[in-house]
Structure 1
Amino acid sequence: MKKIDVDMKVKFLRGFSDKTRIQILEAIKTEEKTVSQIVKELNGNQSNISQHLTCLKGCGLIVGRQEGKYVFYSLASEQIRELLTMFDVVLGDVQNQVACCERHLD
């Protein structure tokens, strides 16, 4: 397995470090959706959601598929889906410690 630079890992993880981006990833975890569908599901505004979609796409976490005038967004790979699931598994084990962590408050 190729060794990945730690700075690259940090940059990759920043794609997951925003509440809206996590909500978007969760929204498209099982099925592709358009911007309008994501906006409606998250009760967000289109400009903000579009900016986050651009970030996620630029980081390689999602892909867009053009169909007529609509772009359908989905996770870029099964590994991203598995990673999101693994976040839930690990968080289930450490959520009490995370809840008590005072270093990374939001």
Structure 2
Amino acid sequence: MQNSTLDMKVKLIHGFSNKTRIQILECLKNEEKTVSQIVEQIKGNQSNISQHLACLKGCGIIVGRNEGKYCFYSLRNQYIRDLLDMFDVVLNDVQNDVICCENHME
């Protein structure tokens, strides 16, 4: 694998490597939402949520659609939804190891 492809893969995975970003993605899994709806659902800070939305949008994981004065965010496509579902499948398989892992403490 070429270094540039590897670097892009790392950048993409970074989009999924934060608790708030995962909360946002789970929030958007079934329907599009505005920033206010996301903030309310995950009980977050609007400024912080907006920064994470910018990261997710910049990586191409989510998209925004303007309607009037609102921007509605959604997952980019079914592949992202499938990937989130696959994280759950893999986690179910390895959860005991993840719980015991001391290499990635937050």
TM-score, scaled to structure 2: 0.95
- 1:31 maps to a residue whose letter is E
For the aligned residue pairs, the C-alpha RMSD in angstroms reads: 1.1
- For 1:96, give the aligned amino acid: N
Deviations 1:39-80 (A, max 9, x none): 000111100000000000000000001111110000001100
Aligned pairs, how many? 104
CA distance in 2, matches of 1:5, 1:49: 28
One-letter identity of the residue aligned with 1:28: L
Match of 2:62 in 1: 62
Gaps of 5+ in 2: none
Q: 1:27-42 maps to which residues of 2 (within 5 A)?
A: 27-42=27-42
Partner of 2:89 in structure 1?
89
| TM-score, L = length of structure 1 | 0.95
C-alpha displacement at 1:92, in angstroms?
0.3
- 1:20 matched to which residue of 2? 20
Runs of 4+ aligned residues of structure 1 deviating over 3 Å after TM superposition are none
